Structure 1
Amino acid sequence: MTRLLPGIGLLISVLAIGGCATYHPLPLATRADLGASITQVLHTVPAGAGRPGVSIDVSRALSVDQIGVLAILNDPALRAEHGQSELARAGVIQSALLPNPSVGLGYAALLGGPGTTGALSASLSQDIASLVTYHNRVASARAHAAQVNAQLLWQEWQVAQKARLLALDLYWGGQAIAASQARLAALTQLSRRLQQAVDQGSLSLAALGPVQASLASQAQALQALHLTQMDNWRALDALLGLRPAVRFDIARPHPPVLPAQLDALAASVAQRRPDLIALRLGYRSADQDVRAAILGQFPAFVLGGSWSSDTSDVRSGGPTVTFDLPIFNRNQGQIAQARASRRVLHAQYQSRLDDTQASILALRARSQYLAARLGPARAAAATAGAQAEAARGAYAQHNLDQRTLDDYESTALQQRLALFDLQRGLGEARIALTLELGLGLPPARIAPLDSKR
């Protein structure tokens, strides 16, 4: 036995070292990783389950939906969130590991007395109590990993929605700026002609005042539009991982067409929305934690065996049992915490579901109202534009004064801007409603966590 002890120790050391992980450095970046052009962003959607990869042509004008996909692929914040999924998968691995058995070896050299040899001892024991909660711990970790994946999916589509809304605002904001710039250029040219007439004495200063007031007001409104446009571009560039000054073409957006069965879709939204699925998975994980905590109230139980020989070479061996007496600690704290966590998730799920249904109803009403207003707004803008054109003809024939012409042109501009705002508002309402309904999202479902993998 004495000769076997070094060999046993060497074997245990080799096995322990062979299964150890090794260190690999992961240095931090020394500079920002921001693209200088839209062509530098990731624009290929990798192939998924049952679907081929798709590449987006970033050299052409991008649709609102394409910009949303690009945001998912390039948003720096989402890259960091993907680490949470790796942590959850690591938790599954950790939960599936059984505790290592404990080995005890001992040798006592004979230093004197009637003995004839050194004393040896060996023991092997295994924690049995951890096996009682094994199934629940693994089920909880798997549900948590699926919850993290569903949460990440929901974060991706929230980023996509934000990018789509920004693209929508940028397109219609660009249209508003173009119309306002044309109006400002006309007012500037008119103001110069009137100023020359005043300087020549052929026109009174009173005729110049209203035009200059309109010019100042239009310049101020255009400045506000430019500042809003700059803020929106900066926000969209940040989502795409680009420098703040990068610009690209956005195609004319069209409001998403909503399906007719909105009531049925609203009733089944919990089966599609990743955030609601994530809360359900979180509740499942918490429920398994409650079960594990209840099973964990049973005392720790270690089963093993031992062998020994004394200095007179008398050998003995037999089983050993070690367990705690559950007098003070019966896992009451863990049970209470697990039950409280489950109650919190239960309430959060109900609150999110109620809020979702309320948002769907509100956005549907808003979408219907804006859609009903779109036709009259187009007609009003067309009428105002035609009247302004007729007023310019009358002014050229000296049948209309400058102040009246300015009123017609201002009205035409305001009607066009109102139409742009209405089209933007309808697009925003439809995009938000499709997201609330869980439409257009990748398939998300609760995986059968009890299946063997």
Structure 2
Amino acid sequence: MSASSPAVQHAGMTARSSNRSYAGRLLLAAPLAALLGGCASAPALPPEVTPQTSANALQHRSLLDPRLQRFIALQTGKPHPIAQPWTLQDLSLAALYFHPSLKVSRANAQLAQADLQIARQYPNPSLQFGLKYGAAAGLLAPSPWTVGMAIGLLLQSQAQRTSETSRAEAGVHAAQLLLSGARWTVRDQVQQAYVSLWAAQQRAHLQQRVLEADLALQGRTAARAQAGVDSPLAAALAQQAAQNAALQKSRDIGAEGAAHVALAGAMGLPVAALQGVKIDFSALHSLPTLPDATQLTQLRRKALEQRDDVRAAWQEVLSAQAALRLAQAQSDGGPPSIAPGAERDQGVNRLMLGARIPLPLFNQHQGQIAAARARLSLREALLKQTQARVLVRIEQSETALQAAQDRVRQAEQLIAANRALLNADLAAQHRGLLGPEPALRAQLRLLSTEQAALQARTDQWQALGALQGALEQPILSAARSRPSNSAPPAVMPPTVAPHLSQVVWREE
């Protein structure tokens, strides 16, 4: 056999060395390429919001906003006609679109959803890179450099992942329930402001009639005093009554303007957005009836168990339970981690495997477990506190509604009696048996009774709205209304817009 030449041997060694070097570079570059391939570009930032742009948008809100019309069409199947008066349902829908508290609740729900996404995702690995130089070894080895790379992986137990996910899911459910409860709160505020504006307009109308009657009586009394039939004191008292009526009319006009502002505020709008807007108050022209005792008992129990804030408090309890399980699962020190990797040392490729195991020597998470138990007790106490507050609201609303209904019945009886007296005085005046003064005084008595009845009906509607808001349920029996003898006839209205509970809420 012929020996190989030195040139051929040197070429073979060079080729092997080149192959080993290429293999080492490939071994180190492959994990790095895999990590870089998993990187994603950051999403675009939302448009910047400044106080100036936000204030400008707030001041230019309008019921004619095309986006509001699309939102109403999503809920009801058709947009609101421009010339059609706005009912309580229409105003409530606009409030659900514009009111800032709902935007805050929706943002909280989105934040809870993001927390759930964080809990469900797996932790990212970490890249560990090392470089060493050995001068003494460089004389004997092909290269004095030692290059190493490892990938760190955090090993989470299934119990820990389940606890974190359960906690985040409970947070999502709680945020969604609080959003639903915020919608009830906004609708209740719109309902109260709607009733207050109707009452303010009715009071101003009645006060105008009182002022006209007082002025007429003042003129008749002054004429009788000049003729010597009545005393100057009677004329002065009549003049004072007319002046008081005029001042009260001014106060009622101011109260009507304040009621407009309150309604706009309940809807999340500037008051300019309601200028020129026709509002339909026909739903308040008939009186509601109190649900029977059996139905109220059922509704009360259902509210104590299924109101949105009660269920949200229960979700917070579930979240605290999941947090306690998580703290107990971490009593062994937390999850370990492993770090598989590769190293090229003095021209030799090596595979490595490192591990990190927490050692619970000084504590076993006793403090975290105690804090989790305390938070669980706190959440359970808050659940009971929420139910107690709900019960108080329901009972207060029931009592106020019953008292208002009693006052309405008494006022209707007085209105009927005073109207009969007025008709008798008018008939006597028509026959020439009485002058116009007794009829004017009878008219004033009737108007005073109608003002009291209006206040009683206002209290009744507001108490009914407060009761339905406390129950967070439509009171079905209250929809069967009875006509009022002291109000113009109207179609049978729904109480506090129970049709709102039938709307399927959809976002744009």
TM-score range, shorter chain: 0.7 to 0.9
Query: 1:7-18, aligned counterparts within 5 Å?
Result: 8-16=31-39, 18=40
Q: 2:58 aligns with which of 33, 55, 75?
A: 33
Write the distance in 2 (CA, Å) between the matches of 1:46 and 1:338: 47
Q: Relative to structure 1, is the Cα distance of residues 255 and 388 closer, same or farther in structure 2, using a 3 angstrom cutoff?
A: closer
Question: Are residues 1:92 and 2:116 paired?
Answer: yes
Write the distance in 2 (CA, Å) between the matches of 1:276 and 1:99: 34
Deviation at 1:61, TM superposition (A): 3.5
Aligned with 1:125: secondary structure?
strand
Q: Relative to structure 1, is the Cα distance of residues 336 and 361 closer, same or farther in structure 2, using a 3 angstrom cutoff?
A: same
Deviation at 1:36, TM superposition (A): 7.2
Aligned with 2:150: secondary structure?
strand
Q: Is the 8 A contact 1:167 1:250 kept in 2?
A: no
Question: Are residues 1:225 and 2:249 paired?
Answer: no
Deviation at 1:148, TM superposition (A): 0.7
Question: Are residues 1:341 and 2:357 paired?
Answer: no
Q: Is the 8 A contact 1:92 1:141 kept in 2?
A: yes
Aligned with 1:268: secondary structure?
helix
- For residues 327-376 of structure 1, what are the alpha-carbon distances to aligned partners after superposition, in whole Å with 9 as ceiling and x for unaligned? 33433343233222222221111122123233323333433343344333
Write the distance in 2 (CA, Å) between the matches of 1:375 and 1:262: 21
Write the distance in 2 (CA, Å) between the matches of 1:345 and 1:224: 48
Question: Are residues 1:161 and 2:197 paired?
Answer: no
Q: Is the 8 A contact 1:307 1:317 kept in 2?
A: yes
Bigger CA drift: 178-187 or 254-263?
254-263
Aligned with 1:72: secondary structure?
helix
Aligned with 2:153: secondary structure?
strand
Q: 1:302 aligns with which of 337, 350, 362?
A: 337
Root mean square deviation of aligned Cα:
3.2
Write the distance in 1 (CA, Å) between the matches of 2:230 and 2:79: 63
Q: Is the 8 A contact 1:99 1:130 kept in 2?
A: no
Deviation at 1:54, TM superposition (A): 5.4
Q: Relative to structure 1, is the Cα distance of residues 24 and 366 closer, same or farther in structure 2, using a 3 angstrom cutoff?
A: closer
Identity of aligned residues (%): 20
Equivalent position amino acid for 1:371 in 2:
Q
Write the distance in 1 (CA, Å) between the matches of 2:372 and 2:134: 54
- For residues 78-116 of structure 1, what are the alpha-carbon distances to aligned partners after superposition, in whole Å with 9 as ceiling and x for unaligned? 233321121111111111121112222334355444332
Question: Are residues 1:171 and 2:198 paired?
Answer: yes
- For residues 230-250 of structure 1, what are the alpha-carbon distances to aligned partners after superposition, in whole Å with 9 as ceiling and x for unaligned? 222101112334332424323
Q: Is the 8 A contact 2:343 2:349 kept in 1?
A: yes
Q: Is the 8 A contact 1:71 1:160 kept in 2?
A: yes
Bigger CA drift: 270-279 or 85-94?
270-279
Deviation at 1:184, TM superposition (A): 0.7
Q: Is the 8 A contact 1:64 1:168 kept in 2?
A: no
Deviation at 1:47, TM superposition (A): 4.6
Deviation at 1:288, TM superposition (A): 0.8
Q: Is the 8 A contact 1:47 1:53 kept in 2?
A: yes
* Count of residues paired in the alignment: 438
Query: 1:385-396, aligned counterparts within 5 Å?
Result: 385-391=419-425, 394=428
Q: Relative to structure 1, is the Cα distance of residues 315 and 60 closer, same or farther in structure 2, using a 3 angstrom cutoff?
A: closer
Equivalent residue number for residue 63 of structure 1? 87
Equivalent residue number for residue 75 of structure 1? 99
Q: Relative to structure 1, is the Cα distance of residues 228 and 331 closer, same or farther in structure 2, using a 3 angstrom cutoff?
A: farther
Write the distance in 1 (CA, Å) between the matches of 2:159 and 2:59: 51
Q: Is the 8 A contact 1:65 1:164 kept in 2?
A: no
Q: Relative to structure 1, is the Cα distance of residues 138 and 156 closer, same or farther in structure 2, using a 3 angstrom cutoff?
A: same
Q: Is the 8 A contact 1:35 1:241 kept in 2?
A: no
Write the distance in 2 (CA, Å) between the matches of 1:9 and 1:304: 14
Equivalent residue number for residue 471 of structure 2? 437
Write the distance in 2 (CA, Å) between the matches of 1:386 and 1:318: 105
Deviation at 1:23, TM superposition (A): 3.5
Equivalent residue number for residue 244 of structure 1? 271
Deviation at 1:141, TM superposition (A): 0.8
Bigger CA drift: 319-328 or 179-188?
319-328
Give the TM-score normalised by the residue count of structure 2: 0.76
Q: 1:151 aligns with which of 162, 165, 178?
A: 178
Q: Relative to structure 1, is the Cα distance of residues 34 and 386 closer, same or farther in structure 2, using a 3 angstrom cutoff?
A: farther
- For residues 6-39 of structure 1, what are the alpha-carbon distances to aligned partners after superposition, in whole Å with 9 as ceiling and x for unaligned? 56535533432x3543445334426143457644
Q: 2:298 aligns with which of 239, 242, 264?
A: 264
Q: Which of the pair has more CA radius of gyration?
A: 2
Q: Any gaps of 5 or more consecutive residues in structure 2?
A: 1-22, 475-499, 504-508
Q: Relative to structure 1, is the Cα distance of residues 15 and 137 closer, same or farther in structure 2, using a 3 angstrom cutoff?
A: same
Equivalent residue number for residue 285 of structure 1? 319
Aligned with 1:25: secondary structure?
coil
Write the distance in 2 (CA, Å) between the matches of 1:132 and 1:319: 25
Deviation at 1:255, TM superposition (A): 4.9
Q: Is the 8 A contact 2:407 2:453 kept in 1?
A: no
Question: Are residues 1:331 and 2:358 paired?
Answer: no
- For residues 37-93 of structure 1, what are the alpha-carbon distances to aligned partners after superposition, in whole Å with 9 as ceiling and x for unaligned? 644482544657xxx645445633443344333322222332333211211111111
Specify which structure has the higher proportion of helix.
2
Deviation at 1:191, TM superposition (A): 3.4
Q: Relative to structure 1, is the Cα distance of residues 349 and 55 closer, same or farther in structure 2, using a 3 angstrom cutoff?
A: farther
Write the distance in 1 (CA, Å) between the matches of 2:288 and 2:139: 95
Equivalent position amino acid for 1:302 in 2:
S
Equivalent residue number for residue 450 of structure 1? none
Q: Is the 8 A contact 1:270 1:277 kept in 2?
A: no
Aligned with 1:3: secondary structure?
helix
Bigger CA drift: 212-221 or 125-134?
125-134
Equivalent position amino acid for 2:197 in 1:
L
Aligned with 1:87: secondary structure?
helix
Deviation at 1:294, TM superposition (A): 1.5
Deviation at 1:167, TM superposition (A): 0.8
Q: Is the 8 A contact 1:306 1:318 kept in 2?
A: yes
